Amino acid sequence: MNDPRQAQPTPSHTPARGFEEVVTLVIKHRVKAGFEAPYEAWLRNIVSIAGQQDGHLGVDVIRGKNAGLDLYTCVLRFCSTDAMQRWLDSPQRLALVNEATPMLADGDQTEVNPVNEFWFAPQAEAAPPPRWKQAVVTLLVILPHTLLVPLLWGPLLQLNALLSNYVVATFLITLTIVVSVVYLFMPMATRLFAPWLSHTSEPKENQ
């Protein structure tokens, strides 16, 4: 993994409330030299506490380098903007951030990504993967679901007249695919294909 380019600190900002969606909270910490071990202990603690919050769907921690310092990019997923905001404003998190502040070179930097950024989490300061790569990974995850989920549901749908209704059956199959893809298989796929997604090749200039 190449060292990310130097980034200027960006202030925290608050997302608009009232629209329920899956959102990602991206937190970036650049750790001062000599504080790597205590920060790792602090990070394990706050990840454990965040995982107990209502609406928390999971977290990925991406380790990198920035200007010679360890850079940690934490991608937290929440079921809604309200759930995310409750964690951001919680006394627990504020106390933990205050505890970590002396270890951070640039303070606590937070970003909020909309629902369409949910699957492909940013790799530190790198650019998002090309859309065609995102499409390939998405196809690899969704295609098996579209083939297998209807077969798995088939016997159950035939047990009841209501379940065998076209609209009801389609809803149940689609719901199963969406939940399975978003919460389980797509996060696994993006981690599995992360080296390929983050690799870019630039065309050589004509001499």
Asked if residue 135 lies in contact with residue 38, where contact means CB atoms within 8 angstroms, the answer is no
- Band (pLDDT 50/70/90 cuts) for residue 126 is low
Confidence band, pLDDT 50/70/90 cuts, at residue 3: very low
Is pLDDT of 91 > 90? yes
CA distances from 157 to 130, 154, 173 (A): 39, 5, 10
Q: What is the DSSP string of 176-205?
A: HHHHHIIIIIHHHHHHHTHHHHH---PPPP
Residue intervals in the chain for CATH 3.30.70.100: 23-117
pLDDT greater than 80 at residue 101: yes
CB 39 within 8 A of CB 100: yes
Judge whether residue 93 has pLDDT over 90: yes
Weakest mean pLDDT among 123-127, 145-149, 150-154, 155-159: 123-127
Cβ-in-10-Å burial (0-12, 13-18, 19+) of 175 comes to exposed
Distance in angstroms (rounded) separating the CA atoms of residues 183 and 187? 7
CATH of domain 23-117: 3.30.70.100
Interior angle at CA 129, CA 142 and CA 3, nearest 5: 135
Q: Is the pLDDT of residue 7 over 50?
A: no
